[in-house]
């Protein structure tokens, strides 16, 4: 144990000396120009567009003004030939911080040593070893270095300054009256404030980046889940038609007397390919359903997919949950492709779910319009009349609706209503005027010449 403690302390001392050499000695006078204010700075955001270039240089202007101020103060306090020398010792380090901050601190520290050794004859009461102009200059230089370096650099320059103050206090014969204690105290408080403020800003910036990444990840996950749900629902639609194709291809040869052998082989190939495609679809569906649970609890794996005709059951459940819903259907109701029916149902379902979640106590109105060339949906809800509980998934439902509308080449608009503070979702899904593929009779298909005798199922 007696050997472990010295080795540990020696290792800590070596690490501290290595960090000190890296921070203050290696490339101490390397050029590090002071950058302008970032575009996200509050001053830059509030400044006019034409003035932002000049506003970004405010730190440079402030340091330059401070340098000339302490130089003028030096000449005013010491009017003889010592005044210009004190002005240079006070102002040059400040100007140098614009390009070489660590080197500027070493220059300011060297000037403090010069005045501390009495090489610069000063009158009593001006401060020693830091005369009043140099006192201000040295603290400002340390602030700039601490603001542009890691926190340990602030501790290192403060400790070295305190060490100089301690040496001065040791040799103080009360002739000048050392101001070392004031320098150590004031600089320590200022540096602590600078380091603390910088740490808080970096923490807020890191939290903002993390929150942004979390929102993006949540959006990506929601999009993937919605696409998986769409894939499952499309499978159910496509599987139905593939089954019809397989059955019709198997029955077609028996509807024609003495069919050619080539025709029989073609129908057999069609049926075989349909069965293979159906098997692959079911295998993919099994993988998707095993990896992700269905986001809609209104139907089990074997239940038929909902359509616009089943909206009444959806409204009953929503009304039971506390949301008053009015339903209006305009236009001539006509059969639509199953994919359009299913997507329209899901969009209405998601819009009402959002109204329940984000506008409790409000009323909703659902308009389904069968218009020329497509289907229109409009879901409007009023402002909430009860307290809204926080929801981490706010806005994610819109991603699913947009995915569905984009899949069908439709359009969607969603946003708050200016007149009452409610929310409105408007969707248009184009539907071809020609009969959909799932409603085309078999005799209208490319096989019409072979099967003219009977229409397909």
Per-residue pLDDT of the chain (457 residues; tens, 9 = 90+): 444 456 787 888 888 888 888 888 888 888 999 999 888 788 888 888 888 888 989 999 999 999 999 999 988 887 778 888 999 999 999 999 999 999 999 999 999 998 888 787 777 667 778 888 999 999 999 999 999 988 899 999 999 999 998 888 777 655 556 788 899 999 999 999 999 998 898 888 888 888 877 877 877 777 777 777 776 666 666 766 777 777 778 777 877 778 888 888 888 888 888 887 777 776 666 655 554 444 444 444 445 678 898 898 888 888 887 889 999 999 999 988 888 888 899 899 888 888 888 888 889 999 999 998 899 999 999 988 887 765 544 556 777 788 888 888 899 999 898 888 899 999 999 987 654 444 434 333 333 333 333 333 3
pLDDT at 443: 38
pLDDT at 106: 94
pLDDT at 5: 52
What is the reported pTM?
0.53
pLDDT at 244: 72
pLDDT at 376: 94
pLDDT at 411: 93
pLDDT at 283: 65
SS3 for the chain is CCCHHHHHHHHHHHHHHHHHHHHHHCCCCCCCCCCCCCCCCHHHHHCCHHHHHHHCCHHHHHHHHHHHHHHHHHHHHCCCCHHHHHHHHHHHHHHHCCCCHHHHHHHHHHHHHHHHCCCCCCCCCCCECCCHHHHHHHHHHHHHHHHHCCHHHHHHHHHHHHHHHHHHHHCCCCCCCECHHHHHHHHHHHHHHHHHHHHHHHHHHHHHHHHHHHHHHHHHHHHHHHHHHHHHHHHHHHHHHHHHHHHHHHHHHHHCCCCCHHHHHHHHHHHHHHHHHHHHHHHHHHHHHHHCCCCCCCCCCCCCCCCHHHHHHHHHHHHHCCCEEEEEEEECCCCCCHHHHHHHHHHHHHHHHHHHHHCCCCEEEEEEEEECCEEEEEEEECCCCCCCCCCCCCCHHHHHHHHHHHHCCCEEEEEECCCCCCEEEEEEEECCCCCCHHHCCHHHCCCCCCCCCCCCC
């Amino acid at each position: 144990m007696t050997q472990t403690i010295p080795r540990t302390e020696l290792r800590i001392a070596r690490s501290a000396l290595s960090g000190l050499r890296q921070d203050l000695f290696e490339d101490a006078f390397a050029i590090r120009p002071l950058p302008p204010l970032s575009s996200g700075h509050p001053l830059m955001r509030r400044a006019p567009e034409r003035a932002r270039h000049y506003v970004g240089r405010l730190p440079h202007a402030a340091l330059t003004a401070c340098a000339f101020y302490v130089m003028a103060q030096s000449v005013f306090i010491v009017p003889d030939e010592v005044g210009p020398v004190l002005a240079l010792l006070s102002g040059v380090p400040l100007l140098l911080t614009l390009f070489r901050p660590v080197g500027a601190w070493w220059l300011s520290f060297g000037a403090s040593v010069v005045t501390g050794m009495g090489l610069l004859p000063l009158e009593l009461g001006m401060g020693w070893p830091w005369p009043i102009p140099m006192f201000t200059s040295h603290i400002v230089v340390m602030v700039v270095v601490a603001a542009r370096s890691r926190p340990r650099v602030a501790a290192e320059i403060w400790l070295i300054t305190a060490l100089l103050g301690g040496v001065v206090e040791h040799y103080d014969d009360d002739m000048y009256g050392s101001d070392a204690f004031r320098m150590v105290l004031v600089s320590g408080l200022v540096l602590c404030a600078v380091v603390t403020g910088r740490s808080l800003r970096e923490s807020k910036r890191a939290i903002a980046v993390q929150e942004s990444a979390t929102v993006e990840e949540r959006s990506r996950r929601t999009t993937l889940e919605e696409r998986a749900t769409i894939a499952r629902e499309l499978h159910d639609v496509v599987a139905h038609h593939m089954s019809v194709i397989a059955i019709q291809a198997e029955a077609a040869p028996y509807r024609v007397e003495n069919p050619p052998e080539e025709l029989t082989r073609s129908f057999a190939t069609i049926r075989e390919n349909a069965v293979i495609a159906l098997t692959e679809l079911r295998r993919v569906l099994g993988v998707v359903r095993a990896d992700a649970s269905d986001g809609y609890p209104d139907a089990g794996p074997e239940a038929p997919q909902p359509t616009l005709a089943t909206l009444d059951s959806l409204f009953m459940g929503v009304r039971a949950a506390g949301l008053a819903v009015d339903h209006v259907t305009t236009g001539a109701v006509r059969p639509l492709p199953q994919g359009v029916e299913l997507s329209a149902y899901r969009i209405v379902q998601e819009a009402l779910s959002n109204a329940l979640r984000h506008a409790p106590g409000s009323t909703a109105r659902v308009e389904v319009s069968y218009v020329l060339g497509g289907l229109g949906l409009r879901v409007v809800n009023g402002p909430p009349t009860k307290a809204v509980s926080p929801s981490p998934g706010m806005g994610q439902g819109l991603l699913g609706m947009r995915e569905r509308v984009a899949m069908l080449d439709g359009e969607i608009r969603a946003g708050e209503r200016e007149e009452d503070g409610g929310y409105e979702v408007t969707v248009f899904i184009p539907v071809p005027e020609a009969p959909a593929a799932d409603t085309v009779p078999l005799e209208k298909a490319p096989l019409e010449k072979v099967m003219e005798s009977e229409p397909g199922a």
